[in-house]
Amino acid sequence: MDTVIVTQKNVLRKLIAEAIRDEIDTKLPELVKEATRKPYLTKEELMDLTGWSSRTIQHLRDSRQIPYSKHGRKILYPTEGILEFLEVHHIKPYPPKD
């Protein structure tokens, strides 16, 4: 950790503003993405998001591997549930060999 001693008020304000700007630059894009994300996806939107075929989605749904809601013939997939499914099934690569 770097040690910084500030003796002038304007220098402290500049350091604080810079730290806040850095945090905003790193966090804002993810916050905007999360805030504008739809809570439920149609089959077509799920296909666009994952690249899965219609048949793959049907298989995952029929085998109860992915969550969904159904009302009549309308089927919707909760975005958060799909992202959790993808995270659980994420396979990490082997570390590079030296």
Q: For the CA atoms of 70, 73, 74, 75, what is the dihedral angle to 10 degrees?
A: 50
In tens, the pLDDT along 50-70 reads 999 999 999 999 999 999 999
Task: In whole angstroms, give the CA distance from residue 11 to residue 16.
Answer: 9
Output the pTM of the full model: 0.65
Confidence of residue 8 (pLDDT cuts 50, 70, 90): confident
In tens, the pLDDT along 26-54 reads 998 888 888 888 999 999 999 999 999 99
